[in-house]
A and B are shown apart, each in its own frame.
Chain A
Amino acid sequence: MTAPRRRGRAHEVRAALPWLVPTLILIVGVVLYPAVLMGWTATRKYNAYGVERGPAGWDNFVGPAGALTFPTVPIPQILINTVVWVVVVVAITVALSLLLAQFLNQKFRGRKLLRLVIILPWASSVVMTATVFNYGLQTDVGLFNRLLVDTGILEAAYGFTKNPTSAFWVAVFVAIYVSLPFTTYTILAGLQAVPEDILEAAHMDGANRFQRYTRIVLPMLRPALLVATLINIINVFNSLPILKILNETPGYNTGHTTTTLIFEYKAQLGPGVASALSLVNFAFCLVVIAIYLAAVQPTKEV
């Protein structure tokens, strides 16, 4: 490699700028600016028409009508929901994806077609998938409900989407369902990077199938798993449409996560309180990610 000629730092930055400026403009204008705007909004008072009425201190967070203290909102339940939502969905998704990827990594006829089938929930918009489940689970016209009754699993059709608690668990199922394809594909990519001769050598040395998987394959999957889990945590935490479509109980109820509650607040309590909750929500998401990273310590093996 030829060493780059020594030039002034300013010159190098100036040479780079034309290539990077469009990206910088988009990020600053459409990601950072609204973030700052929201930080400001969270500390201001708003009247019923959304007009700003001076500073609010911490009132939007913990005041009499604050995001975390608003009287009729089951905040503790919603915080628990959020943790359950992220942990359960991501954990089951990753576990099932490991199985699926292992299955698909075998060589058999038709596996290409099978991979295409798995893509379906990824390619279809989450809105459409959640809507199909909502329809299938309708008490009167829902086919899933009829199937559950016909097979004797249920005695009578049940309004899954009408009760916040059952709606929440249906949403957990659908969230896992739509997260499986991406996760499976990422793990599959990791599996294909495991060199066959290492496995063969371990086989020669007498390692059985299970030992080969836990001692060789899983450790080599670590980077892929890490990426898949992180992206899933971010996506699942921020998911709006699944819960919104499947939980048909209006207003503040026990079927919300902090993310869906933001949109309820935005409609009911105005931008100040909604912004406050958004900031709390983002901090919450960062904490979850930090805990995850602390637990797996990704830098250790580098």
Chain B
Amino acid sequence: MAATRRRGGIDQPPNPIGIALGSLVIVVFFAFPYALMLISSLKSREDIAKIPPDYLPASPQWDNYLTVWASNVAPGGALLATTVIALGATLLVLLVATPAAYYIARFRFPGRLAFLFLVLITQMLQPTVLAVGLYQEFSSWRGPLVWVALILINAAFNLSFAIWIMQAFFASVPKEVDEAALIDGAGRLQTLFRISLPLVWPGIVTAIVFVFVNTWNEYAAAFILVQDPALQPLTVAMPRFLGLYVRDWQYLFTTAMVAVVPVIILFAFIERRLIGGLTAGAVK
């Protein structure tokens, strides 16, 4: 391509053999655990228990992906739990972080620095550090309420990151755009929704995907709070496939595949923005 030529001005164009070799190493290194996940999810129960194990399944058991739902662990409930908690936390962060990010990007007011400081502190704290305190606060939230607790926890701990990214995007929209709308008689909220939001949409999508993925994969808080197997999200429910007598690794990995693939697709969608979005808040 033309771009390659122009860059060749400084460096010699990349050595094709080096590129090919490097790429191969990278692909193998970053894909092999997930290849093992896929292969293992296609083995039969007899196959997976073989000692020593075969590299490939005798015949790929695609119906593992159907029978797993009726297995004794019944991961459907866990998938539902994970989905509800991840969607709930994402929605909550969106509702809570957007106005805060907009306001601190647009206005100077007394206490603004203190607020930013508070947000930064939460970035340093994680559910693992506060696990015991969170347990004491939320252990009485039984039944489906425990999902609400996890939604609140995940939202709170992802809030700082979302505010950080979003405020950087809001700050990148010239103030004059907002002021013009205000002069034309639009209210503050109307300006936010009709003028600013459409402009910073990419930033918001980035923040949303991050919160969603983090919550989808969260472990520590769910581990200490959800005792009832029927309510456990995927990350906590997985070990239940490994019973004392039957170790259903194949089902564990079909479930893992189901948990991982949607997130990979989501990430692939925002891949281009990951580069800009990540440092937008930090470098400024």
A300 to B196, CA, bound (A): 35
Instruction: State whether B103 touches A16 (Cβ < 8 A).
Output: yes
Shortest beta-carbon distance, B216 to chain A, in Å?
7
Interface residues of B in 225-269 (CB under 8 A from A): 234-235, 238, 247, 249, 252-253, 256, 259-260, 263-264, 266-268
Question: Does A35 sit within 8 A of B, measured CB to CB?
Answer: yes
CB pair B224 A266 closer than 8 Å: yes
In the complex, A107 Cα to B11 Cα: how many Å?
Answer: 11
Is B7 an interface position by the 8 A CB rule?
yes
Instruction: Determine if B159 is an interface residue (Cβ-Cβ < 8 Å).
Output: yes
A 248-290 binary contact with B (CB < 8 Å = 1; else 0): 0000000000010011001000010011001001100100010
Q: Check if A125 sits within 8 Å of B217, measured CB to CB.
A: yes
The proximity string for A residues 96-138 relative to B, scoring 1 for CB distances below 8 Å and 0 otherwise, is 0000100100111010101111111111111111011101100
In the complex, how many angstroms separate the beta carbon of A84 from the nearest chain B beta carbon?
18
**A260 CB → nearest B CB, Å:** 9
Q: Residue B136 contacts which of A13, A29, A41 (CB distance < 8 angstroms)? A: A41
Contacting residue for B159 out of A23, A115, A241, A259, CB 8 A: A23
In the bound complex, residues from chain A placing their C-beta under 8 Å from that of B50 are: 141
Give the Cβ gap from B277 to chain A, nearest Cβ, in Å.
Answer: 9
Contact partners of B49 in chain A: CB under 8 A: 141
**A15 interface hit (Cβ, 8 Å):** yes
Q: Are A27 and B156 in contact (CB under 8 A)?
A: yes
Main DSSP-derived SS at the A contact region? helix
Chain B residues 263 to 284 lying within 8 A of chain A, measured CB to CB, are 263-264, 266-268, 271, 274-276, 278-279, 282-283
CB of A192 within 8 Å of the partner chain: yes
**Could you tell me the distance between the alpha carbons of A117 and B271 in the complex, rounded to whole angstroms?**
11
Q: Which residues of A contact B264 (CB under 8 A)?
A: 119-120, 123-124
Report Cα–Cα, A116/B115, bound state, in Å: 36
Asked if A160 lies at the interface with its beta carbon under 8 angstroms from chain B, I say no
B33 with A23: CB separation less than 8 A: no
Complex: how many Å from CA A30 to CA B138?
A: 10
> Known contacts being A189-B278, A227-B283, is A31 close to B156, with CB within 8 Å?
yes
Give complex CA distance A236, B52 in Å. Answer: 34
Q: Are A186 and B51 in contact (CB under 8 A)?
A: no
What B residues does A185 contact at CB under 8 A? 274-275, 278
Nearest-Cβ distance from residue B151 to partner chain A, whole angstroms: 10
* Interface: B84 (CB within 8 A): no
Q: How far is the CB of B273 from chain A (nearest CB, A)?
A: 11
Judge whether B157 is part of the interface by a CB distance below 8 angstroms: yes
Residue B172 interfacial (CB < 8 Å): no
A157 close to chain B: CB less than 8 A: yes
CB distance from A209 to the nearest CB of B (A): 7
Contact B14 A107 (CB under 8 A): yes
- Assuming the contacts A106-B14, A114-B27, A141-B50, asked whether A13 and B110 have C-beta atoms less than 8 A apart, the reply is yes
Instruction: Give the secondary structure class of B's interface.
Output: helix
Number of A-B contacts (CB under 8 A): 275
Q: Is the CB of B96 within 8 A of A23?
A: yes
| Distance to closest chain B CB from A113 (angstroms) | 9
Q: How many residues of A are in contact with the other chain, CB < 8 A?
A: 98
Contact with A along B82-121 (1 / 0, CB 8 A): 0000000000100111011011100111111001001100
CB distance from A26 to the nearest CB of B (A): 5
Write out the residue numbers on chain A whose beta carbons fall within 8 Å of the beta carbon of B152.
26, 29-30
User: How far is A185 from B40 in the complex, measured between Cα atoms in Å?
Assistant: 30
Of the residues B124, B179, B271, contact of A115 by C-beta under 8 Å: B271
Indicate if the CB atoms of B34 and A100 lie closer than 8 Å.
no
> Does A215 lie at the interface of the complex (its beta carbon under 8 Å from any beta carbon of B)?
no
Contact between chains at B128 and A240 (CB < 8 Å): yes
In the assembled complex, the CB of A2 is this many whole angstroms from the nearest CB of chain B, namely 8
| Min CB gap A230→B, angstroms | 9
Asked if B67 is at the interface (CB within 8 A of a chain A CB), the reply is no
Cβ–Cβ contact B109 & A133, under 8 A: no
Q: What are 17 A-B residue pairs whose CB atoms fall within 8 Å in the complex? A: A13-B109, A19-B100, A26-B92, A36-B133, A107-B7, A110-B23, A117-B26, A117-B27, A123-B266, A128-B260, A140-B51, A186-B278, A189-B279, A240-B219, A240-B223, A263-B223, A285-B129
Chain A residues engaging chain B, CB cutoff 8 angstroms: 1-2, 4, 9, 12-13, 15-16, 18-20, 22-24, 26-27, 29-31, 33-38, 41, 100, 103, 106-108, 110, 112, 114-129, 131-133, 135-136, 140-144, 146, 149, 157, 177, 180, 182, 185-186, 188-190, 192-193, 196, 199-200, 203, 209, 223-224, 227, 234-235, 238-241, 259, 262-263, 266, 271, 274-275, 278, 281-282, 285, 289
Additional A-B contacts beyond A20-B99, A262-B128 (11; CB < 8 A): A16-B109, A24-B118, A38-B136, A114-B26, A120-B30, A123-B267, A125-B260, A136-B36, A141-B50, A146-B53, A199-B10
Going nearest first, the 9 A-B pairs with the smallest beta carbon separation are A34-B133, A125-B217, A30-B156, A38-B133, A19-B103, A22-B96, A227-B282, A238-B126, A19-B99
